[in-house]
Structure 1
């Protein structure tokens, strides 16, 4: 339902950096609304690799993407953010000192500052050109991401693609699926050499079937329930692979969407910011995480976390004009009691 919401800061993007921005703003007594085009928080961590381990988050020698998002949600929870999911911000306007955002669901957000934490922008899967695709997408027979691998237990799964996602999920699902078939147009994969070698070894042991050199050619079923995937070579030779699910990993189509029309200074589809504050050239709008760029920028989650803190401190004077901000460490300042109750 469309709503009119008054808040201090609007955060566009509910990925890890956007979630940490809620915490940093909350520590400075600033309320946040978070908007994301996906139906769940987590951004690409949730949509693309929830079960993959991440190794460069401080204090976590290894942590799965899903667990990282869960902990960031827990960290943000004491500050009671409002989440508007399954919609994207389409409009930015000004009303005096107030910034007004409009979403695709008709919501209006009135705030004093905006933090764009939209990763690489709005993204969606590259879909294979197959007849009847929408019907199978609607039932989950054809998918472009894996949220829970348990959903594929005992199922016949065809995985198409030659990159990291295809190889990683083939290795992961072979232990739960009844059968995994990997479809690729050539023997060489674009995945990391180590995991590509693991896939080759799994195929040699009969744990994974390799359909090479084949491409997707068609879907067989009743329009919603999948029965088989039709493959074809470049020479037109066809074969059918019985399947309950097709996972198509052909990468993502990424774009800034309506954000590109806001007058922001762009640098190769990224938003140029001032490194010390993450401020853009549009007053009151900051950008952090993968979507932000400046000299020396590293596309690391941990750098995005730092940018969230810098943006929050830079925004504070807009929310509390004339109030001196005395920097305090969290160890001495503490956090709301609810944060400890949730641990």
Structure 2
């Protein structure tokens, strides 16, 4: 039996920042993640993707952000339990007992769920024989940007991932064709403006309103991507690579059976504390939902701070806590 103050479920950006915030509150942490590395989606799906909305970073790669979060958490000596998923949580007196699929049992005074999208995988477009091209010329994430240098690339999707990668890869690709079923994009307005500027420069070609219809190629290597309008007009795009960015499939797994209030695969929390319907259990980042929720990493960081402060006051109600800013407090020893 392991005893600690807080169990953090998930080692993505919100989970890593939870280590720091709990440490600033004097709380020791153990972190559980199903992946065999830290970083969550940032590391698993788009390590080289540039992120533009992190304060003080005009741009930072996803893996660069994770490394800085790791270094920030390091002084508080977190214990990581990687390649393990939580299969059950149960109340033990006034605490919670967390058990993983590898038999690790941790008793904690509180839990912060920072599980992102839960177990995740890409939404695969319904194209015939697409599996035969996957890993060779169809990719759902960009792990090594330079791999696509000099390629004719078709990007499909209208969100931040599609637009950000179109902007980034336009610097090294032979051509970028951006396929979307409508003229309006869901990405951040500034990113859409940057993309449109590259369209005007001839570095990106917009293919709207079209959607993916078929693939041509041999032995796993694409030669063309077929796109189609809603009224059946077809167009053929030369392509070495197809990058379909249609989001992730979410699977909450055992988490759905823990007695938490679940709303459309998200955990409902109180927006001023991030606490769930179970006392002492908090949810932050993409997994949480409340009125006005914004799925931004920077909002997840704010949610972490609220959860850690609430948890600290809940665990030590008799102790007077004098709040100090980190600039005057420094890094407290654990």
What's the secondary structure of 2:98's corresponding residue?
Answer: strand
User: 2:142 is matched with which residue: 136, 139, 146?
Assistant: 146
Match for residue 52 of structure 2 among 47, 51, 54:
54
Is there any run of 5+ residues in structure 2 with no aligned partner, and where?
Answer: none
Shift of 1:175: 0.9
* Residue 223 of structure 2 corresponds to residue 228 of structure 1: yes
Detail structure 1 runs of 4+ shifted over 6 Å in the superposition. none
2:129 pairs with 1:129: no
Which of 66, 72, 76 aligns to 2:73? It is 76
**Do residues 324 (structure 1) and 319 (structure 2) align?**
yes
Task: Spell out, residue by residue over 1:195-217, the C-alpha distance to the aligned partner (whole angstroms, 9 max, x if none).
Answer: 44554553454423455545241
Listed as ranges, the matches of 1:247-286 within 5 Å are 247-267=243-263, 269-275=265-271, 277-286=273-282
Bigger Cα displacement from structure 2, 181-190 vs 67-76: 181-190
Asked if 1:16 corresponds to 2:10, the answer is no
Tell me the equivalent position of 1:341.
Answer: none
- 1:106-255 residue pairs with structure 2 within 5 A? 106-112=102-108, 113-119=110-116, 121-137=118-134, 139=135, 141-185=137-181, 189-191=185-187, 195-196=191-192, 198-203=194-199, 205-211=201-207, 213=210, 215-223=212-220, 226-233=221-228, 235=232, 237=234, 239=236, 241-243=238-240, 245-255=241-251
Q: How has the CA–CA distance of structure 1 residues 154 and 7 changed in structure 2, closer, same or farther, with 3 Å as cutoff?
A: farther
Contact 1:158–1:229 (8 Å) recurs in 2: no
TM-score normalized by structure 2?
0.78
- Counting matched residue pairs gives 327
For 2:90 and 2:163, locate their aligned partners in 1 and report how far apart those are by CA, in whole Å: 44
User: Residues 10 and 109 of structure 1 are in contact (CA less than 8 Å); yes or no, is this contact kept in structure 2?
Assistant: no
Change (3 A) 1:219 1:288: same
Looking at structure 2, the residues matched to 294 and 238 of structure 1 have their Cα atoms a distance apart, in angstroms, of 42
Change beyond 3 A, Cα 1:81–1:231: same
Give the corresponding residue for 2:24.
Answer: 27
From the superposition, tell whether residues 144 and 326 of structure 1 become closer, same or farther in structure 2 (CA, over 3 Å).
same
Change (3 A) 1:183 1:305: closer
Q: Distance in 2 between matches of 1:247 and 1:23?
A: 35
Deviation at 1:191, TM superposition (A): 4.2
Q: Give the superposition deviation at 1:328.
A: 5.1
SS of the counterpart of 2:304?
helix
Q: What is the distance in 1 between the residues matched to 2:200 and 2:136?
A: 30
Cα RMSD of the aligned pairs, angstroms, is 3.7
TM-score, normalized by length of structure 1?
A: 0.76
Deviations 1:202-239 (A, max 9, x none): 3454423455545241252324xx23243143537463
Mark the CA change 1:257 to 1:204 in structure 2 (over 3 Å): closer, same or farther. same
